[in-house]
């Protein structure tokens, strides 16, 4: 019965659109890449990264549905990326997971089927990540990056002496001839880095279509303490889903960056 309720609530919020309508951003350099020598694992499948292959556990601080959080995760050692004004820190923190009212599912008085996740550090929590061997408590260097990179757009920047470029390919069109809103499909987001004179390009995200959603860059900076760029990107393609995904450079090997973990949740 609980499963049926959750499915009903999800479908009740679904507007059954196959592509997203997003307001266009006009201040980024245009780019068109016809032939890319990149590490691109896709063939015909337009879904990357695949959530089930990402093994690092992640959480956020909020109240979530019963099947979205495992109480046992409370026993892991956690680090949090925290924001205080314009600065960021990576800090080890205790995580509490306790029952709470799920405003979407719990319709009877006294019901508490949801899970509330909280951290002992009280600064604004961007994301919680299970402890990895190279995590160190301390301040985190960050870089300002546009939230959205649309097809045929790019953003070049320097971080820790390395030149990076974020760029996207795909299709975009105006919703209506006189509209400021565009429809995005066949979307791919890439990151290029020039390190020691060598240029390397990695695929970050690929989505066939969107439903009132757009790939959103949440954070850029050095999380794993190797003086290279790491990213947190919301890779969800549906307006009712959130999927903050962790990309780290240290496990990337010969590549620039590698997706490591994701925490996917559904709204209503």
* 186: confidence class by pLDDT, cuts 50, 70, 90: very high
- Indicate if the pLDDT at residue 267 is higher than 50: yes
- Its sign, for the CA torsion 252, 145, 50, 44, is negative
* 38-73 per-position pLDDT tens digit: 555 555 557 899 999 999 999 999 999 999 999 999
* 149-185 per-position pLDDT tens digit: 999 999 999 999 999 999 999 999 887 788 777 889 9
* 187-240 per-position pLDDT tens digit: 999 999 998 899 999 999 999 999 989 999 999 999 999 999 999 999 999 999
pLDDT, position 215: 97
- From edge to edge, which strands make up the β-sheet containing 230-234? 216-221, 230-234, 244-248, 258-262
- Its sign, for the CA torsion 245, 246, 251, 255, is positive
Encoding tokens for residue 50? 């695949």
- Indicate if the pLDDT at residue 103 is higher than 60: yes
pLDDT, position 15: 38
- Indicate if the pLDDT at residue 263 is higher than 80: yes
Q: Which is higher by pLDDT, 220 or 15?
A: 220
- Indicate if the pLDDT at residue 2 is higher than 60: no
Q: How far is C-alpha 253 from the chain's CA centre? A: 21
What is the 3 state secondary structure string of 199-246? EEEEEEEEEEECECCCCEEEEEECCCCCCCCEEEEECCCECCEECEEE
Q: Which is higher by pLDDT, 255 or 242?
A: 242
- Indicate if the pLDDT at residue 24 is higher than 70: no
Which residues does 141 contact at the CB level (< 8 Å), separation at least 6? 159, 160, 221, 222
Query: CA 14 to CA 36: how far, in whole Å?
Result: 36
* 31-40 per-position pLDDT tens digit: 444 344 455 5
* 108-155 per-position pLDDT tens digit: 989 999 999 999 999 999 999 999 999 999 999 999 999 999 999 999
Q: Tell me which DSSP letter residue 61 carries.
A: S
Question: What's the start-to-end Cα distance of the chain, in Å?
Answer: 17
Q: Which is higher by pLDDT, 18 or 74?
A: 74
pLDDT, position 157: 98
Residue entry with tokens 């679904």: 14
pTM for this one? 0.84
């Amino acid at each position: 019965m609980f499963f049926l309720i959750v499915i009903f609530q999800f479908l009740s919020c679904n507007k059954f659109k196959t592509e997203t309508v997003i307001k266009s951003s006009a201040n980024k350099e245009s780019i068109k890449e016809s032939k890319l020598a990149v590490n691109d694992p896709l063939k015909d499948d337009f879904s990357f990264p695949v959530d089930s292959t990402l093994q690092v556990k992640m959480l956020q601080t909020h109240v979530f549905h019963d099947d979205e959080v495992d109480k046992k995760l409370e026993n892991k050692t956690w680090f949090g990326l925290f924001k205080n004004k314009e600065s960021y820190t990576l800090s080890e923190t205790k995580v509490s997971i306790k029952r709470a009212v799920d405003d979407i599912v719990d319709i009877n008085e006294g019901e508490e089927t949801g899970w509330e996740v909280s951290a002992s550090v009280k600064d604004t929590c961007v994301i919680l990540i299970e402890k990895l061997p190279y995590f160190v408590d301390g301040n985190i260097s960050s870089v300002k990056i546009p939230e959205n990179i649309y097809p045929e757009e790019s953003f070049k920047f320097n971080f820790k002496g390395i030149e990076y470029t974020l760029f996207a390919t795909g299709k975009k069109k105006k919703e209506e001839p006189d509209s400021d809103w565009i429809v995005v499909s066949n979307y791919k987001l890439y990151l290029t880095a020039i390190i020691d004179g060598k240029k390397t390009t990695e695929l970050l995200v690929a989505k066939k279509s969107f439903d009132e959603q757009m790939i959103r860059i949440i954070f850029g900076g050095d999380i794993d303490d190797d003086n290279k760029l790491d990213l947190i990107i919301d890779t969800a393609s549906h307006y009712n889903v959130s999927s903050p995904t962790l990309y780290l450079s240290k496990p990337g090997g010969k590549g620039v960056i590698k997706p490591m973990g994701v925490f996917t949740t559904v709204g209503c």
